[in-house]
Amino acid sequence: MAIPSFVDRATLLAVAGKGGDGCASVRREKFKPLGGPDGGNGGRGGSVILRVDPQLTTLVDFHRLSVRKATSGQAGKGDDQNGANGDDIVLAVPDGTVVSDAESGEVLADLTGAGAEVIAAAGGRGGLGNTALASSARKAPGFALLGEAGEERKITLELKVVADIGLVGFPSAGKSSLIAAISRARPKIADYPFTTLVPNLGVVVAGDTTYTVADVPGLIPGASQGKGLGFDFLRHIERCRALVHVIDCATYEPGRDPVTDLDVIEGELKAHGGLEDRPRMVVLNKVDVPDGAELAEMVRPDIEARGLPVFEVSAKSGQGLNALKFAMAEIVAHTRKEAPEPEAARIVIRPNPVDTGGKDFTIARQGDGEGGFLWRVKGEKPTRWVAQTNFSNQEAVGYLSDRLNRLGVEDELLAMGAQAGDSVAVGGQDAVIFEFAPQVQSGAELLSRRGEDQRLDHERPSATRRREEDREYHEARDAYGVVGRDPEGRSWRARLAEEQAGEQTDEF
């Protein structure tokens, strides 16, 4: 199937990179065994960013490739080396792109203006190494935290053309011919309805004013309710500074006349909403046709009585086009002057806070009590902590237990009637289930007391051996006076061994 050159609506799956895992390492130097933790932190995962590029006019790139993934952060290393951050992916989108969540429909950002950007999917944070986890209570952690997964979000991109002037009217009213006559745009032109299926943009120069004109595909009665392609067409005129009605004065369709056409299109614009404050002009097109010129002269007073400026033009012969160009330029210059100065602001997504009653977690009881209850602990912090925990490391599990206890999870479970042996599920969809054992030190405490490392509290074998040798040396020196080698070259250890062997022989 052929891929269209113009796409104004696309769906994108943005997958951010995972954060790198932290490193659990111990510094090793000569004469300094167990020199302290030196594991670095993991790098941040790359984010997927949408940024406005004024040179683009279509979303066709996302139609061809609808999945974009950022790279993950690297894991930390020993010697306090942090992992490298993942590379962000910056995706260029046209000016006027509306970004919304594909599942909820919530509008995330409305990108207008060169350089405007939004983070579609944020990269995961890197895990902390054991250097960052060390404290006065836990001097040498034997574990590190895992990196967090990056966001994965399905978003909808919708393009709303940004133009100064929007041409509206019935199909085959001559809008494409008009924009081709006043600019260098070359849209497809034919004599059948809905020749134009996508908006066409043209740049018009009138004196010192340069402005853009959008040829919006034809509207029909019921367009505001979605008849024809009404929804797709009407959104492209929402950002236009002014609207120009292009009315066909040479149509042969029964029941149509310029005033009726104007009323129908105005009714659809009103039903769509949000366009009441836009300046309007009326262009009576195709006056090069004899009947068209006479009809234009007849209806012009009625239209001018509504306070609308009227221009009689012919896109084919060029009649009246120069006056129309300068009139549109005057409206554009006036609206630009009255418009407030745009503020260059960085668009940031701020998720709505979750109401948990002032707590960082919620607990719900499930089950009928036969065989014990299942207690579900949910919350942003517990879910994130579970994802950061390496459950193959008992000390890391103990650290998770410490964090949950400091948060007040154990006290809340006891207050709600949890009994020892009940199952406790912590986290969201990938919850981890524990057996509730209140006041029992676990995980890190299997090595020593909670938050400590018994390797620092017990003497190492090498230190014990050296201390024993030092004791023997001083005892020999006290016994022989001088500790060294005798004239025969024997050391004090050899003489001591001979004396001990002789004493054992005398006993027998």
- What does the domain layout of the chain look like in residue ranges? 1-160, 165-338, 362-436, 461-504
Contacts of 477 (CB under 8 A, 6+ apart): 483
196 is in an annotated binding site: yes
287 is in an annotated binding site: yes
pLDDT of 342: 58
279 is in an annotated binding site: no
409 is in an annotated binding site: no
176 is in an annotated binding site: yes
88 is in an annotated binding site: no
195 is in an annotated binding site: yes
Q: Domain 165-338, what fold?
A: Rossmann fold (3.40.50)
326 is in an annotated binding site: no
The percent of residues in the chain predicted with pLDDT above 70, rounded, is 76
141 is in an annotated binding site: no
120 is in an annotated binding site: no
In this predicted structure, which of 76-80, 196-200, 239-243, 324-328 has the lowest mean pLDDT? 196-200
Distances (CA, A) of 21 to 113, 121, 149, 461: 38, 20, 10, 33
Q: Do domains 165-338 and 362-436 have the same CATH topology?
A: no
What is the C-alpha separation between 308 and 325, in angstroms, rounded?
Answer: 16
217 is in an annotated binding site: yes
500 compared with 425, residue with greater pLDDT: 425
Name the CATH superfamily for 1-160: GTP1/OBG domain (2.70.210.12)
316 is in an annotated binding site: yes
Q: Can you tell me the mean pLDDT for 442-457?
A: 44
314 is in an annotated binding site: yes
215 is in an annotated binding site: yes
310 is in an annotated binding site: no
143 is in an annotated binding site: no
311 is in an annotated binding site: no
169 is in an annotated binding site: yes
315 is in an annotated binding site: yes
- Output the pTM of the full model: 0.64
In this structure, is the dihedral angle defined by the CA atoms of residues 381, 386, 388 and 394, taken in order, positive or negative? positive
pLDDT in tens, 396-421: 888 888 888 888 888 888 888 887 77
Name the CATH superfamily for 362-436: GTP-binding protein OBG, C-terminal domain (3.30.300.350)
What is the C-alpha separation between 20 and 23, in angstroms, rounded?
Answer: 9
286 is in an annotated binding site: yes
- Of 320, 321, 288, 282, the closest CA to residue 302 belongs to 282
Q: Can you tell me the mean pLDDT for 15-33?
A: 86
